[in-house]
Chains A and B, each alone.
Chain A
Amino acid sequence: MADKSLFDEEALAFLEQKLWRIIEKRTFDNELPPHISSLLITDACEDYQIPLTQYAWDIVHEQSDKWAQHPLLEHLAQCDVCQMELQKMRDFYERSPNIQRLSDTDIDITIFYKDMFPPNEAISRSELPTEEFILLDAGLLDDPEGWYYSLEQIRGKEDEHRGILLTITTPEGSASEIPVSIVLLGRILQRRTDDKGQIFFAGVEAPFLNRDATPAIVLRINRPS
């Protein structure tokens, strides 16, 4: 397999070791993570894998009314493979009633390298009097309505002041206690917003690989249900 990532075999071994260690630390947890389901769907069509898993769970737990208008049903009527996968997942959930449902309340924001201003250019475009804040991305979340996020690279003089700052605001004010995960090169971090609707990912610097079709940062905001 051609490997275009920066993780060579040695780095992968290090990462794998770290992941197993995390799992071993949780040996006595009595739960499977809910996303075990996403490990089991393989043959279903790519776009429908997650909805199909959720639909199977909802059928088994008698909560499938909300799917009436979903395009998945139309797809299922035409796709034998997805129908078979659906049946397998239904059997699986029936045998394992305590497996949790895959969440559909997450909002994913994907920021590509090509869309980010590189630091030097961002500095020259910025109207701010300081070189310390670089706006990486900002925008409205479609849902919940009126929610707005901004992501800034903070380049303080001291190490502890350097990092990435996420701010989420709502029409009413700041959005506090919102779980957010950020994924970037070699890093997966999970935090909750504070009273100001902010999370400061200390020490994190946006990588600039200059790769067009590659996401630089993915934010997952766990939308309040």
Chain B
Amino acid sequence: MSTTFEWPPSFPFPPAPSENWDATAKHYLAELIRWRLQFCSKPNGLTERDAAYLVEKLATPRAVQRFYKVQKFVKETEKDEITYIEWLDRVLDGYLSFSEMLSLSPEVEESQQHVLFQMIHRVVTGAYLKLFHRRPPPHLREELSAKLSLILAENYFYDTELEPWLWQTARHIILNHIRKTKSAIDQVELDINLHSVSQQSQSSGEDWLRMHMQRETLLEAIRQVSHRRYRVVLLLIYLFDLKNAELAAFFGVSIPEATTWRSRSLRALRKRYPPEELP
């Protein structure tokens, strides 16, 4: 452990997120880790192999990006600054606490791996339950757990408590999965039996022609609305007379949001179809 370590270095450190780490930067990081380990609460038990692993993990653009993300978060939430050394201290403390549990190398006991996988399963199930109030189907739980394990290996930098990080990441994974697979709307189902068709009345030939022209003009105007969501909202109003609360329930958004969509959609339509220009 060097006591003559110099901070800050004479070159820009850490390298910018867009830059790769050269040998000098990596060597400096290794020295920096050894120096900071002196101040860790329980540095004993950290081997040279661990230090080498940490250098490999932290001497990457992704790790630097993580540092800047944490720095921004601390600035916004705590109105405070966090330096690279302070962040590194967090990482080292976290590594000393969680690395044993997270190590998936063959030398690690099976029971230890089992604890981690159990934790991941528990978090995935819990996060899913919290979001949807039901348990994920077994195949989905396996798929989501595998994704979480992979992200854990790649993106966890030991700078936060493990379990809250797992919960938050699991939530993101689940929501992304739902968005991508569209499973929430696989069963789009629309009936048109009551409100529209039942309103038929007898019309004369001239009335029929006028109605037909109005209908075609209106539909053509909807087709010309450039934003797809607005077109969909207009069609839902045209066919089902959906009110704001119904639009909100249909899309799974808040009523104010649905109100905004409705109002923007109607404005877009009106530009192309003002009532005074109806046939």
Contact = CB atoms under 8 A, between A and B. Distances in A.
- Give the interface SS of chain B, mostly helix, strand, loop or mixed: helix
A150 interface: no
Contacts of B131: 209-210
A176 B242 CA distance: 24
Interface in A175-194: 179, 181, 183-192
A214 interface: yes
Contact of A1 (B184, B193, B229, B232): B229
Contacts of A127: none
A16 B129 CA distance: 31
A6 B133 contact: no
Contacts of A186: 184-189, 250
B238 A35 contact: yes
A141 to B, nearest CB: 16
Given A6-B184, A6-B185, A215-B255, A188 B240 contact: yes
Contacts, number: 233
Interface string A35-55: 110111110001000000000
Interface string A9-20: 111111110111
A215 to B, nearest CB: 4
Contacts of B273: 40
Which range contains the number of B residues in contact with the other chain?
35 or more
B201 interface: yes
A135 to B, nearest CB: 15
- Give the interface SS of chain A, mostly helix, strand, loop or mixed: mixed
| The 5 nearest A-B residue pairs measured at CB | A118-B133, A35-B241, A186-B185, A208-B133, A5-B251
Interface of B: 129-134, 178-180, 182, 184-197, 199-201, 203, 207-208, 210-212, 214-215, 218-219, 227-229, 231-232, 234-243, 245-246, 248-257, 259, 261, 263-264, 266-267, 269-270, 273-276, 278
